[in-house]
Amino acid sequence: MNPALIGVLATAVVSLAGIWIGRLTTRQADRRLRQEHLDEVARLKLDAAMRAGELFSTRENSPADPAAIASGLLALTRLDHAELAVALLVNLWSTEEESRVAHETAVLVIDAALKSPGNAQLVAAELLCRNAHRLNSCQSLHWPSTLDGGWDQEFGPKTKLLLIDALIRLTLAHPNCEDALRSVAVRLYGIWRGDEDPRVRGCVGRLIGALVPALNQLGYTDFMQGKQTVQLCELEAAAASGTQNPDGYLDRMVDDRCHQLCSWATEHPDPAACLVTAV
């Protein structure tokens, strides 16, 4: 073989090897820089979360300022520590006399926890159900925005059960008024529409069915709440899909909630409650 050709080939091989090694080194350097950046972001978030936690500490045996507590909780949710925030909320949002967090702040924390993965969703759902009787269904800030016209069918079965029961408890905690009736109907429909599980749909359909007679007496067919508008015919179709649950315990629970909703919906509406909401 021609020595000149061999020299050219050898030079080309060396050049290609150099280019390949250079690119490999560059990719490794880029990966290392990306990992260092992720580690730095994680460190900064942890440091910020620790600083947010300092807002809960008391000074000279005096309780922490409510505004500082609210800031700390909401900061934790923005720093991807919703599970920690909702865990702290368990003690901070207890009885009415001992509560150190406003209802609106608590609902914002729960809303963030419901959007995050992991155990935070179940804790948030249980906490919402436990305190639902203290909230007002006619106030938008008293219900998580992620559930106002929306629903995540990937919620665990117990999380779904607690959230649906929280909505019922929230509704029954106050006298019947037109706004509350519209609110619970549209929110239940959002769950029914957003979940493909036939058991969930069957149960929620029965709950909607308990409200349909009262909705028919309102004299109009459009119902709006949060991010969605629902027609009366759609609510009636959802009610028609109601089925018994194979789980006897859940079936009895749905029967009880349907009976309570039906009794509540047929009560004479409270005009004072409607007036307050309108104002």
Q: What is the pLDDT of residues 7-58, one digit of tens each?
A: 555 666 666 666 777 676 776 666 766 765 554 555 555 455 555 555 555 5
Q: Are 81 and 113 in contact (CB under 8 A)?
A: no
Interval 95-149: pLDDT, tens: 666 678 889 999 999 999 999 888 899 999 999 999 999 999 888 899 999 898 7
Residue corresponding to tokens 């090694």: 21
Same domain for 224 and 276, yes or no, is yes
Q: Are 58 and 69 in contact (CB under 8 A)?
A: no
Identify the domain containing residue 110 by its residue range: 63-134
Q: What confidence category does residue 194 fall into, taking pLDDT thresholds of 50, 70 and 90?
A: very high
275 vs 3, higher pLDDT: 3
Same domain for 171 and 77, yes or no, is no
State the first-to-last Cα distance of the chain, in angstroms, to the nearest integer: 97
Same domain for 160 and 267, yes or no, is yes
Q: What is the DSSP letter of 140?
A: G
pLDDT reading at 227 higher than 80: no
Mean pLDDT for all residues in the chain: 81
Average confidence (pLDDT) over 188-213: 94
* CA–CA gap between residue 275 and residue 177 (Å, rounded): 10
* CA–CA gap between residue 38 and residue 33 (Å, rounded): 9
Q: Which two tokens stand for residue 234?
A: 């759609």
Would you list the DSSP string of 84-108? HHHHHHHHHS-STTT--S-HHHHHH
Same domain for 220 and 247, yes or no, is yes
Number of domains in the chain: 2
* Least trusted range by pLDDT, from 59-73, 193-207, 220-234, 264-278: 264-278
Q: Which two tokens stand for residue 246?
A: 């194979």
- Listed residues 134, 161, 185: the one ending a domain: 134
pLDDT of residue 34: 72
Judged on CB neighbours under 10 Å (0-12, 13-18, 19+), 277 is middle
Q: What confidence category does residue 276 fall into, taking pLDDT thresholds of 50, 70 and 90?
A: very low
Q: Which two tokens stand for residue 120?
A: 């935070």
pLDDT above 70 as % of the chain: 73
18 vs 90, higher pLDDT: 90
pLDDT of residue 272: 47
Same domain for 277 and 166, yes or no, is yes
* CA–CA gap between residue 274 and residue 50 (Å, rounded): 44
Collapsed DSSP state (helix, strand, coil) of residue 263: helix
pLDDT reading at 191 higher than 80: yes
Same domain for 76 and 182, yes or no, is no
Same domain for 109 and 159, yes or no, is no
